[in-house]
Structure 1
Amino acid sequence: QFCVNYKNGGISYRSARDGFGFELDWTEFYTTTRKPSAGEVGALPVSGGVINGNLGIGTPNILGGSSIVLGDNDTGLKQNGDGLLDIYANGVQVFRFQNDTLESKKSINVTGRLTPTDYGNFDSRYVQDIRLGSLQYGQVWNGPGFSDTSGYVITGIINGNSDELIDGAHRRPIQKLIGNQWYNVVSI
């Protein structure tokens, strides 16, 4: 049976009776003027939706649930837990995104500049500053003077009476700053 409603353009039909002899409900034809919603035909709306089960793009999914495979059957994205998004290539996990961490399971090759914003994890291994330490005076004329001490440099010579003999000398240690700690340098 067909029912045509010319007033609103609707066309409906029913074709059979149920097991008790009653006619089934009318079924509507969709047309260009009476388009179905995504929910009416079991599709996802363009503005969002929920997929229950696996999603594969162009191929069946072998990465398991909560994953999307791309191109072939073993490369894609997989959610491996709350806040864990993993990237797979050829069935092998190669990268993980986590709330506060990016974790590479393979070597990373950078062809451009890599500019970190926090150097704290490796700055402590490098010299951050150099300075001369506390001043020391030693009497040279008629006194002990200085022996050759590792890491010290002479910073001043004194001849107070302007004769041909040096009266005293000043020296300071050379110091380097590594990881918030000052160290005296050593001589080879």
Structure 2
Amino acid sequence: QETINQASGALQKNQNGADIPGKDTFTKNIGACRAYSSWLNIGGDSQVWTTAQFISWLESQGAFNHPYWMCKGSWAYANNKVITDTGCGNICLAGAVVEVIGTRGAMTIRVTTPSTSSGGGITNAQFTYINHGDAYAPGWRRDYNTKNQQPAFALGQTGSRVANDKAVGWNWNSGVYDADISGASTLILHFNMNAGSCPAVQFRVNYKNGGIFYRSARDGYGFEANWSEFYTTTRKPSAGDVGAYTQAECNSRFITGIRLGGLSSVQTWNGPGWSDRSGYVVTGSVNGNRDELIDTTQARPIQYCINGTWYNAGSI
């Protein structure tokens, strides 16, 4: 009878494990990894979740009962939650692969998102959450990849110091470059999108507000023109830079005063009279004996002042 009882409780080989009554416990006991489901509604709707709620759900699914546990969210936006408190982007769990390694008290969770998403989720991304206890800085991070590339200036200096301020090519990777110049170095901000009529632009910034310069590329020809400087309140353009006269040039060209010069007179009656004299104006006609004839004609030159010096006008 004992043999019959044991036989009735034994697993059947032809069931290939389908008749295991507690698959989760069995997997845990043999130390195997658990592929929980390839189509699972994670959360049941498309509302937002916190990380704490996500972890509670994983715990309810037995994710922390195994050294390694994984599932894949069903491909239905309406049936899967969106985690919004990662600090590095939203995670829409529809179609996402969720992997759990470790225990409830010391866990690593990895979520790989699909190529399309909903709820503002980041696509083509791999998020990792590590929590070894509240005292050990738990949190999320998101890896960079070919679909989610690292920002150009995330790591500070790009590459090694270059030989001069023209050494960064137009088609180099965007970044912040350190370039040697005479007696110092300068910072080169380089932006390259490798498209359009202006595929790249650079800004050169000198230390201690020593000037900002720029140059831009054309098509595939690169930088055809030299650096151009931005004018600022501390680096004003000269008169020559903007095509204006200097103060000295203005003083030598502009009239600051007009007056009549010294008196000249000539005998008119029974004398030579006065021929035309350019630049003079007649200022008086004298008839001393009050007869019918003018005795003397008087005139003064028109004068103008330039830069403190008076000149007689050559003509009017």
TM-score normalised over the length of structure 2: 0.34
User: 1 CA distance for matches of 2:268 and 2:260?
Assistant: 21
The alpha-carbon distance between structure 1 residues 83 and 141, as it changes in their structure 2 partners (threshold 3 A), is farther
User: 1 CA distance for matches of 2:247 and 2:241?
Assistant: 23
2:266·2:298 contact (CA, 8 Å) conserved in 1? yes
1:69-114, CA deviations, whole angstroms, 9 ceiling, x for partnerless residues?
46764332422x6653132131432225485642699879xxxxxx
2:287 to 154, 159, 163: 159
User: 1 CA distance for matches of 2:215 and 2:239?
Assistant: 12
Residue 135 of structure 1, CA deviation: 2.0
Instruction: Classify the secondary structure of the residue corresponding to 1:84.
Output: coil
Structure ranking higher on relative contact order (CA contacts 8 Å, 6+ apart) = 1
Which residue does 2:137 correspond to in 1? 29
Once superposed, what is the RMSD of the aligned Cα atoms?
4.3
User: 1 CA distance for matches of 2:240 and 2:138?
Assistant: 51
1:154·1:169 contact (CA, 8 Å) conserved in 2? yes
The one-letter code of the counterpart of 2:307 is G
1:110-153, CA deviations, whole angstroms, 9 ceiling, x for partnerless residues?
xxxxxx9x972443212233221122222222344434333212
Which residue does 2:237 correspond to in 1? 102
| Percent of aligned pairs sharing the same letter | 28
Q: Which has the higher strand share?
A: 1
1:95·1:102 contact (CA, 8 Å) conserved in 2? no
The one-letter code of the counterpart of 1:88 is Y
Q: Is residue 2:201 matched to residue 1:67?
A: no
The alpha-carbon distance between structure 1 residues 104 and 76, as it changes in their structure 2 partners (threshold 3 A), is farther
Q: Which has the higher helix share?
A: 2
The alpha-carbon distance between structure 1 residues 30 and 85, as it changes in their structure 2 partners (threshold 3 A), is farther
The alpha-carbon distance between structure 1 residues 60 and 83, as it changes in their structure 2 partners (threshold 3 A), is closer
The one-letter code of the counterpart of 2:315 is S
The alpha-carbon distance between structure 1 residues 155 and 62, as it changes in their structure 2 partners (threshold 3 A), is farther
Which residue does 1:126 correspond to in 2? 254
1:59·1:69 contact (CA, 8 Å) conserved in 2? yes
The alpha-carbon distance between structure 1 residues 138 and 103, as it changes in their structure 2 partners (threshold 3 A), is closer
1:95·1:104 contact (CA, 8 Å) conserved in 2? no
The alpha-carbon distance between structure 1 residues 122 and 63, as it changes in their structure 2 partners (threshold 3 A), is farther
TM-score normalised over the length of structure 1: 0.51
Residue 169 of structure 1, CA deviation: 1.4
1:150·1:186 contact (CA, 8 Å) conserved in 2? yes
1:169 to 297, 310, 315: 297
The one-letter code of the counterpart of 1:28 is Y
Which residue does 2:210 correspond to in 1? 84
Residue 160 of structure 1, CA deviation: 2.3
The alpha-carbon distance between structure 1 residues 70 and 182, as it changes in their structure 2 partners (threshold 3 A), is farther
Residue 170 of structure 1, CA deviation: 1.4
User: 1 CA distance for matches of 2:261 and 2:240?
Assistant: 46
Residue 171 of structure 1, CA deviation: 0.7
User: 2 CA distance for matches of 1:119 and 1:106?
Assistant: 11
User: 1 CA distance for matches of 2:303 and 2:292?
Assistant: 33
Instruction: Classify the secondary structure of the residue corresponding to 1:154.
Output: strand
